Amino acid sequence: MKERSIHVRAWRREDLPRVEAVERAGFSDPWPTELFEQEMSNELARGLVAEQAQSSGVSLVVGFALWWVVCDEIHLLVLAVHPDARRHGVARALMAQLEEQAVVESAREILLEVRPSNLVAREFYRSLGFAEVGRRRRYYGDAEDALLLRRALSAEHGLEEE
């Protein structure tokens, strides 16, 4: 039941309005449209959306992930799920697909920053086996620090146990 009807696919330019709606609902300091547009034509950037069928039968984008591939590292820039669709495995489905793509691209690790105050996201990443490996002082616009999280990848098995 939990992950039924979630479909993850590469993002497309026409997804942008819905991606932005999810972003705005998820963050107090959402990215401006120009940044998303920039990333859509950045050759280092990869994006996925998760669609979920609504009771009307129409599929709606309810979550997305955006990351950079830098040499053998994946740097996760944004991951968000619309509040109405949370706690149904959407983010987990996005991360599973991201990891598959990362392994295909020979990446060895996933890195990301998260606010120390974002306890839900920290619990989410902890549940996927991410470990805290550093802190970036005054990283966010409001001067909150960022925690740096890391997860190793293995070419054979996807995520490694650490």
Ligand X SMILES: CC(C)(COP(=O)(O)OP(=O)(O)OC[C@H]1O[C@@H](n2cnc3c(N)ncnc32)[C@H](O)[C@@H]1OP(=O)(O)O)[C@@H](O)C(=O)NCCC(=O)NCCS
State the residues that interact with ligand X by CB under 6 A: 26-27, 79-81, 86-92, 112, 114, 118, 120-121, 123-124, 127
* Closest approach of ligand X to the CB of residue 100, in Å: 16
Strands 109-114 and 59-70: unpaired
For ligand X, the closer of residues 17 and 83 by Cβ is: 83
For ligand X, the closer of residues 103 and 114 by Cβ is: 114
For ligand X, the closer of residues 69 and 128 by Cβ is: 128
* Closest approach of ligand X to the CB of residue 134, in Å: 15
* Closest approach of ligand X to the CB of residue 120, in Å: 4
* Closest approach of ligand X to the CB of residue 124, in Å: 4
Phi, psi of 126 (to 5 degrees): -60, -40
* Token pair belonging to 38: 């920039």
Among the listed residues 156, 158, 157, 139, the one whose alpha carbon sits nearest the alpha carbon of residue 147 = 139
For ligand X, the closer of residues 78 and 103 by Cβ is: 78
* Closest approach of ligand X to the CB of residue 22, in Å: 8
For ligand X, the closer of residues 106 and 136 by Cβ is: 136
